[in-house]
Amino acid sequence: MIVHDSFFIGGRWVAPESDGSFDVISPITEEIYGRIPVAVPADIDRAVAAARHAFEEGEWPRMSIDQRCEAMTRFAKCLEPLVGEAIDLQINEMGGVRKFIGPATQTCLGQRIYDGIDVVRQLPLREVRDGAFGKVIVTRDPVGVVAAIVPWNVPLSGLMLKLVPALLTGCPIVIKPSPDSPLSSHVIGDAAIAAGLPAGVINIVPGDRDVGQYLVAHPGVDKVSFTGSSAAGRHVGATCGGMLRPCTLELGGKSAGIILDDFDLDGQFDVVMNKTMLNNGQLCVANTRILVPAHREQQVIDRFAAAIAARKIGDPRDPDTDWGPLPGERHRDRVEGFIRSGIEEGATLAVGGGRPVMTKGWYVNPTIFSGVTNDMRIAREEIFGPVISLIRYDTIEDAVRIANDSDYGLGGGIFTSDIERGAMLAERIDTGSLVVNDGIFAGGGGPFGGRKQSGLGLENGPEGMASHYKFRSVSLAPGQAFDLARAEALA
Ligand code: NAD
């Protein structure tokens, strides 16, 4: 059993303020896998105070971009030897399969930092613009202390999406991991110590929803970066709205993947599997509504049936397992409730349903519903499990209408043999990030964020970085000359 007895505050592991603890139950064994202290408001106070001190008095926000990039490169190097541990911790705390958690962790603890460094180096801290009303000097300052709230389903990828832009822009961060997958965040603290990052720049305080609310409303916080369900995001947004506090909300989804009539179902079906079922279907961007030309529905059902039969459900620690357990009994019951509702509302259970035979763990079979209409609960609500709804369409107009008829607008996919046709069709979908075939969501430095109930604001790329700055315009009289180099020499 892994026992953590401290929080990472002010650059070191410190004893918690209360003696309460909670157990992390392994979804694989149903036994206690780890124990961590319960954060109380006094722990959050200490973490925010450490971050505030780092922001107001410390060197981090005052460093040059080059110095911060150097420090972050050191941090990435110190994370490298911890990647294996980070993968194992996540698999055991939330049941994700090695096949997915492995590469996702390698990317988020390595390449994501280097990508962030490339982006921040391209953003000028001072820029002179010239227009009809004269010159204006646009400058940016770090927004301040960032409170980052992270969900359980991609513990370290979610955390690093917040940590990298915050730190690179000069903002100390207080991270609250989910109580359902809190153990893996320890590697971040260990690497921060090894890299010699200044005290208070990173603070990690796992805790429950109440402590999350306390952090969101804390007077010492300048910006909230939240990832989680739309229901929780609404609360966070309301709190931040009341305080006029900037926030980024990355929330749930019910994304549509549109299979076009020209898509190569025989040669390329793995692509559809990747975009629907990865991480047990527990990805915010999973294409959980698959829109199929009516005449191809049976072919798609057959491909899903064959692909599922050829893949493995089982222990997520094994490198060849495709589906592991859901993270808890309550979550499994919820997913099964959706499967029942699909049957009750008249969809056809085409593949799966029920549970695989396993001695331990909260498993459900990968499940495909056909004949789904877009008004059914399984088409409208986020299930967060391996349950896919096939919805028939007749024309492209019909497909676009169905895809856009959703409360959410997070992900989406176009599956086609004609890339340009796919890319242009993607522009008609009212959603934040799409892929054509096997594209990576917002890969290559795109902004990532939801529309409608899927969120507010953006992460990733220059747009995600920009939300960690406060901007200022200094205007000169029309016609006034300005020597930027001289001004910078005076700074
Ligand atoms: P959740 O909303 O239950 O919890 C997310 C985090 O917020 C946890 O750390 C939780 O303790 C905390 N929290 C909950 N209520 C809070 C409140 N009122 N104030 C402050 N903190 C609060 O979500 P979850 O079950 O952990 O994660 C799954 C959800 O996250 C899904 O809806 C999924 O789509 C979404 N998600 C979205 C993205 C994205 O980028 N859009 C990425 C991953 C997951």
**Which residues line ligand 1 at a C-beta cut-off of 6 Å?**
149-154, 158, 176, 178, 208-209, 212-213, 216, 227-229, 232, 235-236, 250-253, 284, 382, 384, 410, 450, 455
SS3 329: helix
Q: Contact at 8 Å (CB) between 422 and 259?
A: no
Q: State how far the Cα of 133 lies from the Cα of 138, in Å rounded to an integer.
A: 14
pLDDT confidence of residue 24: 97
Count of positions (residues) in the chain = 491
Q: Contact at 8 Å (CB) between 278 and 286?
A: yes
| Residue 245 CA to ligand 1 centre (angstroms) | 19
| Residue 249 CA to ligand 1 centre (angstroms) | 10
Q: State how far the Cα of 90 lies from the Cα of 281, in Å rounded to an integer.
A: 16
Q: Give residue-wise pLDDT tens across range 149-177.
A: 999 999 999 999 999 999 999 999 999 99
Q: Contact at 8 Å (CB) between 406 and 452?
A: yes
For ligand 1, atom 40: residue with the closest CA: 250
pTM of the model: 0.97
pLDDT confidence of residue 69: 98
Average pLDDT over residues 279-290: 97
**What is the arrangement of strands in the sheet containing 289-293, beginning at the earlier edge strand?**
348-351, 367-370, 387-393, 289-293, 256-259, 413-415, 435-436
pLDDT confidence of residue 269: 98
Strand-pair partners of 292: 392
SS3 222: coil
pLDDT confidence of residue 491: 87
pLDDT above 90: residue 283: yes
Q: Contact at 8 Å (CB) between 148 and 176?
A: yes
pLDDT confidence of residue 81: 98
pLDDT confidence of residue 120: 98
Relative to the CA of 450, which ligand 1 atom is closest?
A: 41
Residue ranges per structural domain of the chain = 2-251+454-472, 255-436
pLDDT above 90: residue 5: yes
Q: Which fold has domain 255-436?
A: Aldehyde Dehydrogenase; Chain A, domain 2 (3.40.309)
Average confidence score pLDDT of the chain: 97
pLDDT confidence of residue 440: 92
Phi, psi of 368 (to 5 degrees): -120, 125
| Residue 251 CA to ligand 1 centre (angstroms) | 7
pLDDT above 90: residue 444: no
Q: What percent of the chain has pLDDT over 90?
A: 99
Phi, psi of 220 (to 5 degrees): -85, 5
For ligand 1, atom 26: residue with the closest CA: 151
Q: What is the rounded end-to-end Cα distance, in angstroms, of the chain?
A: 54
Name residue, tokens 């954060």.
Answer: 39
Token pair listed for 52: 């505030």
| Residue 192 CA to ligand 1 centre (angstroms) | 25
| Residue 253 CA to ligand 1 centre (angstroms) | 12
CA angle 202, 203, 205 (to 5 degrees): 150
Relative to the CA of 459, which ligand 1 atom is closest?
A: 40
Q: Give residue-wise pLDDT tens across range 298-316.
A: 999 999 999 999 999 999 9
Q: Give residue-wise pLDDT tens across range 209-260.
A: 999 999 999 999 999 999 999 999 999 999 999 999 999 999 999 999 999 9
Burial of 46 (0-12, 13-18, 19+ CB in 10 A): buried
Hey, which of 185, 229, 334 would you mutate to test ligand 1's pocket, going by the most ligand atoms within 8 Å of its Cβ? 229
Relative to the CA of 178, which ligand 1 atom is closest?
A: 9
pLDDT above 90: residue 465: yes
For ligand 1, atom 35: residue with the closest CA: 228
Q: What amino acid positions are annotated as catalytic residues?
A: 250
pLDDT band at 64 (very low <50, low <70, confident <90, very high): very high
Average pLDDT over residues 385-410: 98
Relative to the CA of 250, which ligand 1 atom is closest?
A: 41
- The neighbour count for residue 261, using CB atoms within 10 Å, is 11
Q: Which fold has domain 2-251+454-472?
A: Aldehyde Dehydrogenase; Chain A, domain 1 (3.40.605)
